[in-house]
């Protein structure tokens, strides 16, 4: 079971965050997600917030 995911420095942009957020919305096991040093703009942040609204994931930006 995946509980921690480190995606630091992967050049993830809003489109990538959109896909990640979709997966996160279905996630039941992830507890920690690190997205440090990516390209997350306002749209990406909105996608991420939507994807995480029913999760208990510790988010590290």
Using a cut of 0.75, tell me whether the model's pTM lies above it.
yes
Q: How many domains does the chain have?
A: 1
Helix (H, G, I), strand (E, B) or coil at 8: coil
Locate tokens 């930006």: which residue? 61
Q: What is the CA radius of gyration of the chain?
A: 10
Residue range 4-30, pLDDT digits in tens: 999 999 999 999 999 999 999 999 899
Q: State the distance between the two ends of the chain, measured CA to CA, in whole angstroms.
A: 23
* pLDDT at res. 25: 93
Q: Domain of 8?
A: 4-60
pLDDT at 55: 86
Per-chain mean pLDDT for the chain: 94
Coil vs helix vs strand at 26? helix
Q: Is the pLDDT of residue 56 over 90?
A: no
């Amino acid at each position: 079971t995946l509980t921690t995911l480190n995606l630091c420095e992967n050049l993830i942009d809003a489109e990538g965050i959109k896909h990640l957020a979709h997966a996160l919305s279905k996630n039941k096991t992830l507890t920690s997600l690190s997205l440090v040093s990516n390209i997350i703009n306002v749209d990406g942040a909105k996608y991420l917030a939507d994807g995480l609204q029913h999760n208990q994931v510790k988010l590290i930006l």
